[in-house]
A = this chain, B = another copy of it.
């Protein structure tokens, strides 16, 4: 199976060493699950890319990018992960970019994750990371290329011997997982941390929030501590690549996957995702 890489449309291209994506993490990315040749939640991914480009003052031509991505997808395995990186391109002096810089656009395909089926079926062991996310409202929500915190958190996750973990901000509020968003169910309410000062507004998170509201469910974005998750009826992680993972343990607390979690697993699969 061949997993193509395109750099500005060039097959197996390479990146200029002066690219600001490399120099400063000056750019954005998206990771899409592709099944049967279709990129799932594509509208959500492109919408987030657009929001991020506005926050970073990146000049991207979204219709052109979407067309090129469609051409790229046609060259990819039917089932894969497709990653998009858009950087500000090269040029400028120090942190000041060349206003005429042309963004660099990278497309790359990767195998589907080899996460155990058990993660979705029986649930995952969750931990709580000690490293806190810094609070930067100007960047919160966006999937930008400044991800050193996640690299350090992913390392900490490995030490915790957990499958995913709650990550807190400097104030001690839960923001998300290391590579997912997180929801809790309390009675008839679906709750998820608001993403205002840290964290990424996940595409599956947004789809769940939208769908839940459309169906008249009670859904709240608020401030929750780890103790709120411990006390919840159900807890689940979600991301558009891995889907929905029930949490089966968090510290001493244990759960079996509940009906609300199963509902959102079904929702993810209905979008075309194979479990």
Question: Do the beta carbons of A17 and B25 come within 8 Å of each other?
Answer: no
> How many angstroms between the C-alpha atoms of A135 and B134 in the bound complex?
5
Within 8 A of B (CB), among A19-70: 19-26, 29, 56-57
What's the minimum C-beta distance from A165 to chain B, rounded to whole angstroms?
A: 12
In the complex, whether A249 has a CB less than 8 A from a CB of chain B is: no
In the complex, whether A203 has a CB less than 8 A from a CB of chain B is: no
> How many angstroms between the C-alpha atoms of A96 and B113 in the bound complex?
13
> How many angstroms between the C-alpha atoms of A153 and B56 in the bound complex?
11
Contact pick for A85, options B22, B88, B154, B158, CB 8 Å: B22
In the complex, whether A213 has a CB less than 8 A from a CB of chain B is: no
Copies in the assembly, this chain? 2
Task: Encode contact with B along A75-93: 1 for CB under 8 Å, 0 otherwise.
Answer: 0000000000101100001
Q: Name the residue of chain B whose CB is nearest to the CB of A153.
A: B95
In the complex, whether A147 has a CB less than 8 A from a CB of chain B is: yes
Question: Do the beta carbons of A56 and B14 come within 8 Å of each other?
Answer: no
> Contacts A7-B17, A15-B17, A178-B95 known; A22 to B87 CB distance under 8 Å?
yes
Interface centre among A13, A14, A56 (most CB of B within 10 A): A14
Question: Do the beta carbons of B95 and A145 come within 8 Å of each other?
Answer: no
**A100 CB contacts on chain B under 8 angstroms:** none
- The stretch among A136-144, A187-195, A221-229, A255-263 that forms the contact with chain B is A136-144
Interface centre among A56, A87, A146, A155 (most CB of B within 10 A): A146
What interface size band does chain A fall in? 35 or more
In the complex, whether A181 has a CB less than 8 A from a CB of chain B is: no
> How many angstroms between the C-alpha atoms of A14 and B145 in the bound complex?
19
Contact pick for A144, options B21, B148, B150, B158, CB 8 Å: B148
In the complex, whether A94 has a CB less than 8 A from a CB of chain B is: yes
**A135 CB contacts on chain B under 8 angstroms:** 134-135, 170
**A149 CB contacts on chain B under 8 angstroms:** 136, 138-139
Question: Do the beta carbons of A22 and B15 come within 8 Å of each other?
Answer: yes
Question: Do the beta carbons of A138 and B150 come within 8 Å of each other?
Answer: no
In the complex, whether A120 has a CB less than 8 A from a CB of chain B is: no
In the complex, whether A151 has a CB less than 8 A from a CB of chain B is: yes
Task: Encode contact with B along A165-180: 1 for CB under 8 Å, 0 otherwise.
Answer: 0000010000000110
In the complex, whether A212 has a CB less than 8 A from a CB of chain B is: no
> How many angstroms between the C-alpha atoms of A17 and B154 in the bound complex?
21
What's the minimum C-beta distance from A147 to chain B, rounded to whole angstroms?
A: 4
Question: Do the beta carbons of A19 and B16 come within 8 Å of each other?
Answer: no
In the complex, whether A122 has a CB less than 8 A from a CB of chain B is: no
